[in-house]
């Protein structure tokens, strides 16, 4: 095998027709298979996106900083050895569907479940108890301390099965994709409107070309979908478009809609200690306990589509808002395969076990099937059908015992962490804080501490700022000048 280990080898390229004029893509024309690939971006967890775009690049700012912070964290700070892998390589709740795409950029195979051999019908009481244990990580120890290495078969959801496309129906229709990623069924009217908007009257200006996209080009398109307002032009024509100063200014948001389900009683506000320069009136860094760090790191597990939903389609994150709206419109237009497919794109779930205990933002978590049966070949089959005799207990990889309610977040507490404005997170070290203040040229007597609360709105603002700002803490907590006195209480 050649090529990088992270990038799946695509089965074949996918063709695309492009109309361009004046160094700009006017639109691309493609079939349902390409639209499927484009829409699948909404299912990708942010950690995967950072990994694909390149963790060494600073292009998606704070998310990259957080990714690298997790990467350099010592394992003693995490609840289990699996936590780091879950954050750096988060599972996609729609990974089975994505594995059927013509080009799938999600770099992992669908999750496998492993089980152990210490349970059988003859001596069930002495084995693992009455449940059969499963693990998504091979060779994890079961509660009776034997290694779980036998592969089980996970039965596929019947609702999603069926031929044709993955999310989009395999219609003969052609689709138009604008430079800013509005996807629509092709029509002459839409075409004319686009020409008018771009001020193109002369047909001689227009050039047509055929392209074949491979995996690398799809990843390139993903990257510009996040970073640019003209992703097709940047990805296809290699024209740099950001000279127009299109960068989005972060603005504080309130709750976009009344939060009907947010009343979950176990969700508590969190506190963050800000270290502020009195004279400069800016946030220097923050100190936080594991609950805040867990919450921030969990952003890496959020699917792109769930973020756009939480931010009310106003994230300002590249052109992802447009892609999200296109998924809604294509669903309304009857182009998506089913309601389940629509939900996977506009309301994607976190992968099983990826949620943290104190999740201030409401994202549903997917679950593994709960029942198990023995097939004729001796292969254990995990299924959603309750007709089978006994329960499948899938171990929570975040939990040291594997038992679900013992698993809280990814981080092991108590511990205090230092969070920089760009969301670089590291264990608090007094020596490092002094060095940092020196580096920032802030005298120690100029520093005040103030405690702020992170509730739902602050959580939402932190999420939004992590996508588009480079100074997340200042933007979210330091909007007013002068710094509000009420917050200056230690
Ligand atoms: Zn066992």
Which residues are within 5 Å of ligand 1 (an ion), measured at CB? Answer: 116, 118, 128, 142, 144, 146
* Residue 392: strand, helix, or coil: strand
Question: Would residue 390 count as lying in a domain?
Answer: yes
Question: Would residue 370 count as lying in a domain?
Answer: yes
Q: Do 113 and 126 sit in the same domain of this protein?
A: yes
**Residue 395 Cα to ligand 1 middle (Å):** 12
Question: What does the pLDDT read at residue 324?
Answer: 98
**Residue 68 Cα to ligand 1 middle (Å):** 35
**Residue 400 Cα to ligand 1 middle (Å):** 16
Question: What does the pLDDT read at residue 404?
Answer: 77
**Residue 155 Cα to ligand 1 middle (Å):** 22
Question: What does the pLDDT read at residue 185?
Answer: 94
Q: Do 401 and 373 sit in the same domain of this protein?
A: yes
**Residue 152 Cα to ligand 1 middle (Å):** 14
Question: Would residue 205 count as lying in a domain?
Answer: no
The residue from 347, 382, 407 where one domain ends is: 407
Q: If you write DSSP's letter for every residue of 401-449 in order, what string do you get?
A: S--GGG---SB-SS-EEEEETT--EEE--HHHHHHHHHHHT--GGGEEE
Whole-number Å distance between alpha carbons of 368 and 362: 19
Q: Do 150 and 113 sit in the same domain of this protein?
A: yes
Residue 438: which residues within 8 A CB-CB, separation 6 or more?
Answer: none
**Residue 125 Cα to ligand 1 middle (Å):** 12
**Residue 153 Cα to ligand 1 middle (Å):** 17
**Residue 181 Cα to ligand 1 middle (Å):** 50
Domain count for the chain: 2
Question: Would residue 164 count as lying in a domain?
Answer: no
Residue 16: which residues within 8 A CB-CB, separation 6 or more?
Answer: 28, 29, 30, 34, 210, 211, 212, 213
**Residue 123 Cα to ligand 1 middle (Å):** 12
Question: Would residue 176 count as lying in a domain?
Answer: no
Question: Would residue 464 count as lying in a domain?
Answer: yes
The residue from 407, 441, 467 where one domain ends is: 407
Question: Would residue 31 count as lying in a domain?
Answer: no
Domain with 415 in it: 270-296+411-487
Question: What does the pLDDT read at residue 3?
Answer: 36
Question: Would residue 225 count as lying in a domain?
Answer: no
Q: Do 385 and 440 sit in the same domain of this protein?
A: no
**Residue 115 Cα to ligand 1 middle (Å):** 7
**Residue 137 Cα to ligand 1 middle (Å):** 14
Low-confidence spans in the chain with pLDDT less than 50 = 1-11, 120-129, 243-246, 257-262, 481-490
Q: Do 143 and 281 sit in the same domain of this protein?
A: no
Q: Do 142 and 278 sit in the same domain of this protein?
A: no
Q: Do 289 and 427 sit in the same domain of this protein?
A: yes
**Residue 132 Cα to ligand 1 middle (Å):** 8
Q: Do 443 and 479 sit in the same domain of this protein?
A: yes
pLDDT in tens, 328-386: 999 999 999 999 999 999 999 999 999 998 889 989 999 988 888 776 567 788 888 87
Question: What does the pLDDT read at residue 247?
Answer: 56
């Amino acid at each position: 095998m050649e090529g990088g280990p992270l990038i799946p080898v695509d089965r074949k390229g996918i063709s695309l027709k492009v109309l361009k004029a004046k160094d700009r893509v006017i639109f691309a024309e493609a079939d349902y298979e390409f639209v499927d690939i484009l829409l699948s971006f909404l299912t990708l967890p942010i950690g995967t996106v950072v990994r694909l775009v390149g963790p060494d690049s600073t292009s998606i700012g704070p998310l990259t900083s957080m990714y690298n912070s997790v990467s350099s964290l010592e394992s003693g700070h995490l609840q289990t050895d699996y936590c780091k892998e879950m954050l750096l390589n988060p599972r996609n709740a729609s990974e089975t569907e994505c594995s059927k795409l013509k080009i799938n950029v999600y770099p992992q195979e669908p999750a496998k479940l492993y089980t152990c051999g210490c349970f059988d019908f003859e001596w069930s009481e002495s084995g693992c108890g009455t449940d059969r244990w499963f693990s998504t990580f091979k060779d994890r120890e079961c509660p009776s301390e034997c290694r779980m290495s036998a592969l089980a078969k996970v039965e596929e959801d019947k609702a999603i099965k069926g031929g044709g496309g993955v999310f989009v129906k395999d219609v003969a229709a052609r689709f138009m994709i604008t430079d800013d990623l509005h996807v629509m069924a092709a029509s002459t009217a839409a075409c004319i409107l686009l020409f008018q908007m771009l001020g193109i009257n002369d047909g001689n200006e227009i050039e047509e070309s055929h392209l074949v996209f491979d995996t690398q080009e799809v990843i390139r398109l993903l990257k510009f979908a996040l970073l640019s307002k003209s992703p097709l032009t940047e990805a296809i024509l290699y024209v740099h478009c950001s000279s127009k100063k299109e960068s989005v200014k972060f603005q504080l948001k309130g709750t976009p809609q009344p939060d009907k389900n947010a009343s979950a009683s176990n969700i508590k506000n969190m506190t963050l200690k800000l270290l502020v320069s009195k004279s400069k009136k800016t946030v220097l860094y923050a100190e936080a306990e594991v609950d805040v760090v867990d919450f921030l790191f969990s952003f890496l597990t959020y699917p792109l589509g769930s973020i756009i939903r939480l931010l009310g389609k106003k994230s300002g994150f590249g052109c992802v808002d447009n892609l999200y709206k296109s998924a809604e419109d294509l669903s309304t237009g009857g182009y998506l395969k089913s309601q389940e497919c629509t939900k996977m794109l506009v309301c994607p779930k976190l992968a099983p076990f990826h949620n943290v205990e104190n999740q201030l933002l409401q994202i549903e978590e997917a679950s593994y099937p709960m029942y198990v049966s023995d097939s004729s070949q001796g292969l254990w089959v995990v299924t959603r059908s309750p007709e089978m005799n006994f329960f499948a207990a899938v171990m929570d990889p975040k939990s040291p015992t594997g038992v679900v309610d013992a698993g809280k977040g990814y981080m092991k507490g108590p511990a205090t962490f230092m969070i920089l404005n760009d969301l670089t997170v590291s264990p608090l070290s007094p020596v490092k804080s002094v060095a940092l203040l020196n580096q920032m040229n802030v005298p120690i007597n100029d520093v005040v501490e103030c405690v702020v609360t992170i509730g739902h709105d602050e959580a939402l603002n932190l999420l939004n700022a992590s996508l588009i700002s480079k100074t997340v803490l200042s933007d979210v907590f330091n909007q007013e000048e002068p710094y509000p006195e009420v917050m200056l209480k230690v």
